[in-house]
């Protein structure tokens, strides 16, 4: 695996892969790679793609009171994991390389990015799209790999790819969870054992919602009420939002549409913000 931190070297490496007839699949990440990222690298590598993993703590997607400074940076173990999963390139640019002083361009999607996480984190998706569009131009991947764990991110990026006619196809992989059900996230590292224990109620609530749908419940309100009730019983959990939404538009739904909707939620465990979802 090649480790690259300069844009020009990344452009050359991507061109060389294309000359060798390889299809490039890009997995953009914030680093702190875990088994969820590993599953996405494997998913793309098993299809024969040359996987480029970018690890970059993108400041544009963090709000002023968010955890940019304390976000885990684990360059050595990231390289080991990406190499083990057979990534071809790890692209880990420094901040000045990606966004030098004076960088002043941004990319904004104005519909799918507005509800849910877009309400309390207005810069999140603009930051993601701006960074990813720059990565697309540097690497020119044919495939973009994303996790369904961040369902709204998938929907926003799909919309932007369609709106801007970007020549990239999208490959998504399911959410990887710890054995106890907590969705893997770099931010789980912030949790104390007690906080982690309480956060497990979220998976229980998502499973309960799925069970209700499987047993014939159609009303989104009933699911939302049940999930809210389960979370309210936990001292350290605070709901930010819970909603049944269309998986493409992220619009709120009143009735379950099988195969087309998901229960999306975001919550605080004390001061740690986590998101999760369950396809219905
Ligand atoms: P991040 O580093 O959090 O920006 O995530 C990079 C990519 O990995 C995104 O497409 C995420 O949706 C995906 N991802 C993060 N956590 C998981 C997980 N637990 N399971 C599957 N994919 C994940």
pLDDT tens-digit profile of 75-85? 999 999 999 99
Nearest CA to ligand 1 atom 14: 147
Dihedral sign for Cα atoms in the order 269, 76, 37, 13: positive
* Cα–Cα distance, 141 to 58 (Å, whole number): 19
Q: What secondary structure, in 3-state letters, does 222-262 show?
A: HHHHHHHHHHHCCCCEEEEEEEEEECCCCCECCECCCCCEE
- What's residue 170's pLDDT? 98
Q: Which of 26, 31, 32, 36 to mutate to test the pocket of ligand 1 (most atoms within 8 A of CB)?
A: 36
Where on the phi/psi map is residue 52: left (φ > 0), alpha (ψ -120 to 50), or beta?
beta
Cβ atoms of 45 and 51 within 8 Å: the answer is yes
- What's residue 112's pLDDT? 98
Q: What is the pLDDT of residues 113-130, one digit of tens each?
A: 999 999 999 999 999 999
Distance 81 CA to ligand 1 centre (A): 14
| Ligand 1 nearest-atom number relative to CA 176 | 20
Nearest CA to ligand 1 atom 18: 36
Cβ atoms of 255 and 221 within 8 Å: the answer is no
CATH class of 2-173: alpha beta
Residues contacting 52, CB < 8 A, separation 6+? 10, 14, 24, 25, 26, 27, 87, 88, 89, 90, 91, 139, 141
CATH value of 186-279 in 3.40.50.300, 3.30.1300.10, 3.30.479.30, 3.40.50.720: 3.30.1300.10
Residues contacting 197, CB < 8 A, separation 6+? none
274 lines ligand 1 (CB under 6 A): no
Examine the residue annotation and report whether 37 is marked as an active-site residue of this protein.
yes
Distance 37 CA to ligand 1 centre (A): 6
30 lines ligand 1 (CB under 6 A): yes
Q: What is the DSSP-derived secondary structure letter of residue 149? A: G
- What's residue 150's pLDDT? 98
DSSP E strands: which ranges in 36-192?
Answer: 50-55, 89-91, 143-147, 169-173
Neighbours of 105 (CB within 10 A): 8
Which parts of the chain have pLDDT scores under 50? none
Q: What is the pLDDT of residues 197-216, one digit of tens each?
A: 999 999 999 999 999 999 99
187 lines ligand 1 (CB under 6 A): no
Residues contacting 83, CB < 8 A, separation 6+? 1, 90
- What's residue 165's pLDDT? 98
Q: Domain coordinates of the chain in residue numbers?
A: 2-173, 186-279
Distance 128 CA to ligand 1 centre (A): 13
45 lines ligand 1 (CB under 6 A): no
């Amino acid at each position: 695996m090649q480790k690259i931190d300069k844009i020009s070297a990344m452009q050359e490496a991507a061109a060389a892969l294309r000359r060798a007839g390889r299809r490039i699949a890009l997995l953009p990440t914030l680093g702190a790679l875990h088994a969820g990222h590993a599953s996405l690298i494997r998913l793309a590598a098993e299809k024969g793609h040359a996987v480029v993993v970018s690890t970059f703590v993108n400041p544009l997607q963090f709000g002023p009171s968010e955890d940019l400074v304390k976000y885990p940076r684990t360059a050595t173990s990231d390289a080991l994991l990406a190499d083990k999963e057979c990534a071809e390139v790890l692209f880990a640019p420094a901040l000045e390389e990606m966004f030098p002083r004076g960088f002043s361009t941004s990319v904004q999607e104005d519909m799918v990015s507005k509800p849910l996480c877009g309400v309390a984190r207005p810069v999140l998706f603009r930051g993601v799209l701006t960074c990813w569009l720059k990565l697309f131009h540097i690497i020119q991947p044919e495939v973009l790999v994303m996790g369904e764990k961040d369902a709204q991110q998938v929907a926003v990026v799909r919309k932007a790819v369609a709106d801007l006619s970007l020549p990239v196809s999208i490959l998504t992989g399911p959410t990887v969870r710890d054995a106890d059900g907590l969705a893997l996230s770099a931010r789980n590292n912030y949790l104390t054992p007690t906080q982690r224990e309480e956060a497990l109620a979220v998976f229980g609530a998502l499973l309960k919602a799925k069970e209700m749908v499987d047993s014939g419940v159609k009303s989104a309100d009933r699911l939302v009420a049940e999930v809210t009730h389960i979370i309210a019983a936990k001292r350290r959990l605070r709901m930010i939002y819970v909603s049944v939404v269309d998986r493409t538009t992220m619009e709120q739904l009143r009735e379950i549409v099988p195969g087309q909707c998901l229960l999306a939620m975001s919550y605080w465990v004390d001061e740690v913000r986590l998101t999760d979802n369950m396809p219905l």
